Structure 1
Amino acid sequence: MSLGARRGVGFDIAENILEQAKVTAAKANIVNCDFVAENILDIPDSYHQQFDFIFFTIGAITWFQDLEALFAKVAACLKADGVMLLHDFHPFMNMLPLPGEEDFDGKNLNRVSYSYFRTEPWIEDEGMSYMSETYASKEFTSFSHTMANIVTSIVQNNLKITKLKEFDYDIGLTDVYDKRGFSLSFLLISRKGGIH
């Protein structure tokens, strides 16, 4: 790993994602990184207060129904003054139909199809199409979160938000809505230590 990191650890519940991470690390000649198959909420206490930096990206938090529990685990694993970086889809993306969905209309890209405040989970069985072509798979359940829910869950876990930026481009699903005035992705940086 670069930037002076002595060691890195990647956690994911999905073995295939970990295999992909190992291949990517090998291609980048990264040798000081371990990959652990684990539900993040079940990370053992031996990892508590072990990390200076925790990074989430592209669709990671959508798999967690309870963000307070997720960010409590983040706070537990960070050292004092440790930093969490979250770069993800903006919650507004959950309102937009994606190419391939029944409601998608490429001629009307200003159409909103879903509620920003959706509470019911998303149920999918067409595989992880952002990684490859769509295919029949086991059922996946994901969850929508509002920006207020994300921010509140972070600050309630002794993590002070130091930066929040929104962008008008998507970072992983589709580029059809890019540069149309919608918030499509965001970058949030927080530091362990609470609100000042």
Structure 2
Amino acid sequence: MDMPSAQQAIACNKDAWDQSADLHKTTDTWSALLRAVANPGFSCLDPTLTGVLQDIGVAGKDVVQLCCNNGRESLSLLGLGARSVVGVDQSRAFLQQANELAERSPYQPEFIESDIHQLPERLQGRFDIALVTIGVLGWMPDVALFMQHVASCLKPGGSLVMYETHPFLEVFDPRAQNPFLPASSYFQREPFVLQEAIVYEGQAEVAGPTSYWFVHTLGDVVSAAICADLQISHLQEYAHSNREELYDQYEHQPAQLPLCFTLTAIKQSA
């Protein structure tokens, strides 16, 4: 089958996210979020990401979260003491959820509807920290271009903070008869073609619109940051999973796989 252009993949992915949004509001997780965000100390960030942000010094900083989904992590940043938070996402449907959560919260982040590749001029050079979390890189056809857009939001001396799935995990199919047997190449360049709704709870597949998932090696990610004039200051790999419950089976193995990583990088002065 013919692979889509980057622009076609981005458009298909946007449509898939918009169409999946309602599925996320029928879960116990959503009901719990609506209650939890009213707490000024609310945070959905795990100890790993919380520690990295505290080491960077998130308190009192201006932060942008790129691909913020329903805004729960953006609200968490304000709970950690960020001075201001802007959440950016291309899915209008998920930003509606973000605003619904913000209405229940004591905090007021700003949410902006924008494709990462078409960021508004007013975001350029504005932020001390740019946050990128789980499940962002795989939707990006070109990780080097993505990093350039991330860097464009930062002030000189500002920091990218990333907490992502380890790309090595992508070689395994957690639903396979033997989920520990590599099912695809770590160096695969063609995207996975998905035809299921984008949901993160439960193991059942639900049919949905076509979307495209791209695999970038850890070397790709590091090189992309360097080429965007971001100086790597921290890179750590972990044996715990930060994605769907389906991947928990890869934890606590005798021969442990790398399951996720954190990366921080500082924008160099012009």
Tell me the alpha carbon deviations over residues 46-71 of structure 1, each in whole angstroms, 9 at most, x when there is no partner: 21001111101111011111111111
Shift of 1:135: 2.2
**Kindly tell me: are residues 35 and 151 of structure 1, through their superposed partners in 2, closer, same or farther at Cα, counting changes over 3 Å?**
same
Equivalent position of 1:80 in the other structure: 156
Equivalent position of 2:82 in the other structure: 5
Pick from 71, 90, 96: which aligns with 1:19?
96
Shift of 1:109: 4.2
Amino acid in the other structure paired with 2:249: V
My pick for the range that moved more, 63-72 or 14-23, is 14-23
**Kindly tell me: are residues 44 and 146 of structure 1, through their superposed partners in 2, closer, same or farther at Cα, counting changes over 3 Å?**
same
Q: Does 1:189 align with 2:264?
A: yes
CA distance in 2 between partners of 1:19 and 1:165 (Å): 34
Q: Does 1:156 align with 2:239?
A: no
Amino acid in the other structure paired with 1:69: L
Q: Does 1:63 align with 2:143?
A: no
Q: Does 1:115 align with 2:188?
A: no
* Secondary structure at the counterpart of residue 65 of structure 1: coil
Q: Does 1:176 align with 2:249?
A: yes
Shift of 1:35: 1.2
**Kindly tell me: are residues 169 and 27 of structure 1, through their superposed partners in 2, closer, same or farther at Cα, counting changes over 3 Å?**
farther
Alignment root-mean-square deviation, CA = 1.8
CA distance in 2 between partners of 1:171 and 1:27 (Å): 26
* Secondary structure at the counterpart of residue 138 of structure 1: strand
Pairwise mapping of residues 113-152 of structure 1 onto structure 2 (< 5 A)?
113-131=183-201, 134-152=205-223
* Secondary structure at the counterpart of residue 208 of structure 2: coil
Shift of 1:14: 1.5
CA distance in 1 between partners of 2:168 and 2:241 (Å): 11
Structure with higher helix content: 2
Shift of 1:156: 0.8
Shift of 1:23: 3.7
CA distance in 2 between partners of 1:26 and 1:131 (Å): 24
Q: Does 1:29 align with 2:106?
A: yes
CA distance in 1 between partners of 2:87 and 2:105 (Å): 15
**Kindly tell me: are residues 25 and 166 of structure 1, through their superposed partners in 2, closer, same or farther at Cα, counting changes over 3 Å?**
farther
Tell me the alpha carbon deviations over residues 69-101 of structure 1, each in whole angstroms, 9 at most, x when there is no partner: 1111111110011111110110011101023xx
Count of residues in correspondence between the two structures:
187
Unaligned runs of 5+ in 2: 1-77
Shift of 1:157: 0.7
Amino acid in the other structure paired with 1:187: T
* Secondary structure at the counterpart of residue 248 of structure 2: coil
* Secondary structure at the counterpart of residue 173 of structure 2: coil
Amino acid in the other structure paired with 1:34: E
My pick for the range that moved more, 50-59 or 123-132, is 123-132
CA distance in 1 between partners of 2:172 and 2:99 (Å): 33
**Kindly tell me: are residues 23 and 45 of structure 1, through their superposed partners in 2, closer, same or farther at Cα, counting changes over 3 Å?**
same
Shift of 1:3: 4.1
Shift of 1:27: 4.4
